[in-house]
């Protein structure tokens, strides 16, 4: 099946710093989602981004489907950005099942 | 819209007990699924459904049953709980139209401990 790799696995930032999280996937996909799992365990939808670039406040994401990667940018990080960031892609062509990466654990310190 | 709701939020079971985790959505989504999340790992698919009356197995289906009698509800049943089923369970839903992927929305999760 499709493989999803996220990097880095762990990231510690000073409040106000910027960061880039990467998601590589092993096969062509027709959609990709980024999620933030907050310290209370909730999975929050950040972006649904099959290709191109989207922005939402301090967060933006870019997916280059032809090169099989996506990037999540966090600017001016805040302590509330702490948690685990997951990317997920369909498990196969025409599949609704999502294959998740193992996540990037982000800790933002004041 | 309440979105995707799950009950209970927390549950402790003894080995061998049975229980049902409830999941409901009010977005008229056809596709619903159950995932489990274990420490240090992403989410793994247990079972899914593309519409009322239709269910199928995911990556880790053993020990779990599902049914889908209505569009809104997709309960997950543990027939005889085992310590290996200690996990956090998430329900998800999305629109379903042909083979185009749509954005999936997740419930708040149920934290299950089996002793």
What's the pLDDT at B103?
A: 86
What's the pLDDT at A96?
A: 79
- How is B71-110 classified by DSSP, letter by letter? SSB--EEESS--GGG-EEEEEEEE--BTTB----EE---E
Distance (Å) from the alpha carbon of B34 to chain A's nearest alpha carbon: 10
Find residues 58-97 of chain B whose CB sits inside 8 Å of chain A.
Answer: 58-59, 88, 90, 92, 94, 96
Model confidence pLDDT, tens digit, residues B67-79: 999 999 999 999 9
Tell me the chain B residues in contact with residue A41 when contact means C-beta distances shorter than 8 Å.
Answer: 88, 108-109, 111
What is the pLDDT averaged over residues A67-76? Answer: 97
How much is the mean pLDDT over chain A? 94
DSSP lists the bridge partners of residue A45 as A35
What's the pLDDT at A30?
A: 85
Model confidence pLDDT, tens digit, residues B43-90: 999 999 999 999 999 999 999 999 999 999 999 999 999 999 999 999
Distance of alpha carbon A25 from alpha carbon A103, whole angstroms: 13
Residue A21 has pLDDT above 80, yes or no: yes
C-alpha distances in Å from residue A56, one per residue of A32, A51, A63, B23, B82: 16, 16, 15, 29, 42
Residue B31 has pLDDT above 70, yes or no: yes
What is the pLDDT averaged over residues A69-92? Answer: 95
* B105 at A interface, C-beta within 8 A: yes
The residue written with tokens 């025409």 in the block is A94
Distance (Å) from the alpha carbon of A77 to chain B's nearest alpha carbon: 23
């Amino acid at each position: 099946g499709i493989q999803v790799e996220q990097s880095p696995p762990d990231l510690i930032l000073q409040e106000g710093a910027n960061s880039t999280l990467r998601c590589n996937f092993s096969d062509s996909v027709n959609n990709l989602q980024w999620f933030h799992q907050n310290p209370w365990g909730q999975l929050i939808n950040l972006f649904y981004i099959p290709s191109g670039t989207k922005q939402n406040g301090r967060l933006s994401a870019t997916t280059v489907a032809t090169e099989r990667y996506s990037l999540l940018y966090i600017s001016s990080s805040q302590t509330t950005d702490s948690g685990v960031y997951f990317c997920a892609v369909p498990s196969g062509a025409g599949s609704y099942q999502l294959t998740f990466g193992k996540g990037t654990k982000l800790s933002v310190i004041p | 819209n309440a979105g995707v709701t799950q009950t209970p939020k927390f549950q402790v079971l003894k080995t061998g007990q049975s229980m049902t985790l409830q999941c409901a959505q009010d977005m008229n989504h056809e596709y619903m699924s159950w995932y489990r999340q274990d420490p240090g790992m992403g989410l793994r698919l247990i079972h899914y459904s593309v519409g009322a009356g239709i269910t199928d197995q995911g990556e880790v289906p053993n020990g779990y049953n599902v049914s889908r009698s209505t569009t809104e509800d997709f309960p997950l049943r543990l027939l005889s709980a085992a310590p290996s089923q200690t996990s956090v369970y998430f329900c998800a839903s999305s629109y379903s139209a042909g083979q185009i992927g749509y954005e999936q929305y997740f419930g708040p999760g149920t934290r299950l401990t089996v002793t």
